[in-house]
A and B are shown apart, each in its own frame.
Chain A
């Protein structure tokens, strides 16, 4: 019997090819997107599970006050100063290890490489079990030891048996290799594709950092950087909430009161969250969004199937009527339709899996991830999904058809055309609600991102080549001659040094106030150490006063000076309480240091308020001062035409002036794009979902319109005989299909408004045309719907009416 059903279902597939194609296309696309989304989220949320202690490892992060105005609400790391206290006071903890990233120039023999090194407490190797090729987990106990990954060992030495080989950091500190470990798999947060630049290739003890860069082993309370995780290993009996309580106490006890206004707590997280934490950090629920979108697309696909199957089943009413008169009972018919749904669902699932097998390796290559379908593991889930999709999709059409009375079905197939049309309209409405919703949110994201990107154009970023990592004494000593030489290169118009670059998410600031010793009116002031050419290089205008210059001795900020001249931005002037830039000139403000005399800053110039760190942050009050030998970056402004040619000349010049350290360059455009990458990726993936959702809905509408048009040919024939012209027929059909789309608009637009509100809240400088853009999404959907229905309408409106009436 079952065989017979499957056979009938199989034949049915080939009977109506348009119907089958549309249905399969929809289900395959829906399933592919759904499976892919689910696999991706599953992958991102299940990093690190292969470590032996996975379930007992925790990280501690920092929670910021909303008034901190630093663009993020949390950070996955804590001040390194906490760890000695935790170690001393929370005895139950098995191990705790800090990690600090720092870039160094590595010298091996005659070769130099810039390399990000992860410095850590020795306990790191107790917490994480690495696969050692050489050496063992004691490798970090050697104060001048260093661990290399298999890759790095081969890169530096061409071999993995390199115990005892020497590596020099910044020509100064020499370490010897104590262990080589197997490359970490991609699915660990150490290799996270979400947070860039945190590679786990070279690992050295913090004592080495102390030697190489004077890093205080007691840690500090003024430096946070997202990659610098602190890991804690708990005994099996202790829970996350227990650790949270301990951390709350540590925070209370060891953070000074002023600081608590800014850092409002510590937050314990399981290691499992380390990979996706970046999303919580910037406050965007990306993983949840992907899950939701994947399900939405699948729902659209199922609705497509249900709608088309119902519409089509009506044209089979005659067949069903015949079967019934010949003795088929309800159950058998029900089974037949459900099995048809299942057969289509299983075939679609099969095709979707095949597509995934092609897509996933490409995706892995592109994104450096290692997604894979673990069939053994996912089979029950796949089977369940397919069965549910098949049953849900087949249920309504099955019910519809079996309800038809045999006489009705035989007497007049046309009459049953109205039945179920309410259901189909509701389904169509649902489908369009989802598509319009997704489309609207995507457009909002797109326009907001475009705004951020355009706003980034205040600085001539496409013309600037940056030179990085100048914070080494040897280089600082040669900055003047380097600048002179660089300026000689044709095509170079400006050269400037600074402690930070536009768009970098640096956050160096100090507390400042207009009254000496009175903190009441104080505020956080972002500081930037620049040279005299910075404003002109970046085209930052002055609205009052003058730029800083080496001609005035008070303009040059040397160590221990207690009165200096500075340039502020407009926002800082306002924070200080001055009504205008001119009024502020010559006025003085102060800082509030802990361990030295306060310094007086005299305002010599004022710039407009510009968003130096990029537009997802709020504008900040800013101070520029001339502080020689505090420069990390050079900005070389180049005329457009010969950028790469100029780059070669810049490199030659560098090599001539600075012999010990290789050049590190990057286009400012790239700095900007790195900052922007998260939004960009998000937009692209959202865009993909939106396109799929909309196309699926349109395919569904196309199929449905085809069937409806067909079932109305008689009526339209009559209307034509009565003298209706083409336009009247077309508008009749379009109006019929517009109703569910209009309902969809009513539902989707407010929801889209609400959702986009959540996203836009994230930006300080929001797009203003939110409502217009959302309305535009609605309009686009309607136009597409009209276009598709219109095509069918034109087709039947131009057909000869007599054909429709003849074959009644």
Chain B
């Protein structure tokens, strides 16, 4: 599904240069569940953002579905992104002024889709993640776990094939964390590719492959035996 070749990312702020990613080479196939791990500041979020096309690499190539997108324009990237990729953030990033169903609908708002169909899809997905009874609540009235479920629903409501999750359980207690992980696992078993950044070894166990980063390098890639 995606492939990175000698990809690097350099941050330049005033006089300090930070090499966030250094010559990364990875490949992720459709249907995989990959965890990215590593100490704080090693470049995990940076990598995920580049995968999600929210950020661009300084050097190297990035193939998405065999298409080299390294030199795509902002609007081309935006097109690919909204059809294929869903995001889940540590801090949920729901819009405070919108209620649950409106927050989920937001992901469809920028697709060409009839209103009726949008509503149906939102209702469906809310059932699926078990948040339907809270449809009219505002984010501030929900627990962290519930908010993250809304975020997951929002990430997949547009039938996105790839879900990028940056420490999705970072702000949750272990019970709620577990809940979210199971939900991701369920999605993965239905064919969704998932790339997740996490600090928790328990949660990385849900993934079939773990990429360990250190100081912008891929150190090891562990493949877990299936089953």
Contacts and interface: CB of A to CB of B under 8 A. Distances in A.
B99 to A, nearest CB: 14
B55 A802 contact: yes
B223 interface: no
Contacts of B87: 721
Given A722-B82, A802-B55, A414 B96 contact: yes
B129 interface: no
Nearest to A801: B54
Contacts of A806: 45
A415 B54 contact: no
Interface magnitude class on chain B: 20 to 34
B219 interface: no
Contacts of B26: none
B152 to A, nearest CB: 14
A414 B111 CA distance: 27
A715 B109 CA distance: 14
Contacts of B107: 722-723
Contacts of B154: 722
Interface in A674-726: 714-715, 717-726
Contacts of B140: 412, 415
Interface magnitude class on chain A: 20 to 34
Nearest to B139: A415
B54 A722 contact: no
B132 to A, nearest CB: 21
A723 B140 CA distance: 24
Contacts of A721: 54, 81, 87, 93
B93 A723 contact: no
A808 interface: yes
B49 interface: yes
Which of B49, B75, B89, B95 has the largest number of chain A CB atoms within 10 A? B95
B20 to A, nearest CB: 13
A725 B110 contact: yes
Contact of A714 (B45, B54, B93): B93
B110 A728 contact: yes
Interface in B133-178: 140, 154
A418 interface: yes
A734 B184 CA distance: 38
A664 interface: no
B86 to A, nearest CB: 9
Contact of B55 (A723, A724, A800): A800
Contacts of A728: 110
Nearest to B110: A723
Interface in B81-100: 81-82, 87, 89, 91, 93-97
A418 B97 CA distance: 8
A802 B96 contact: no
Q: What DSSP secondary structure best describes chain A's contact surface?
A: helix
B111 to A, nearest CB: 7
Contact of B75 (A719, A725, A801, A802): A725
Given A412-B96, A414-B96, A805-B93, A724 B109 contact: yes
B21 to A, nearest CB: 14
B215 to A, nearest CB: 20
B36 to A, nearest CB: 16
Contact of B106 (A417, A717, A719, A801): A719
A315 to B, nearest CB: 16
A808 B54 contact: no
A109 B31 CA distance: 116
Contacts of B54: 721, 800-802
Contacts of A722: 82, 106-107, 109-110, 154
B95 A718 contact: yes
Contacts of B97: 418, 715
B71 interface: no
Contact of B82 (A714, A715, A723): A723
B78 interface: yes
Interface in B181-221: none
Contacts of B110: 719, 722-725, 728
Contacts of B93: 714, 717-718, 721, 805, 808
22 contacts: A412-B96, A412-B140, A417-B96, A418-B97, A714-B93, A715-B95, A715-B97, A718-B93, A718-B94, A718-B95, A718-B106, A721-B81, A722-B82, A722-B106, A722-B109, A723-B111, A724-B109, A725-B78, A725-B110, A726-B75, A728-B110, A805-B89
Interface of B: 45, 49, 54-55, 75, 78, 81-82, 87, 89, 91, 93-97, 106-107, 109-111, 140, 154
- 3 closest A-B pairs by beta carbon, nearest first, are A723-B82, A723-B110, A802-B54
Interface of A: 412, 414-415, 417-418, 714-715, 717-726, 728, 800-802, 805-806, 808
Given A718-B94, A723-B111, 6 more contacts: A418-B96, A719-B110, A723-B82, A724-B110, A800-B54, A805-B91
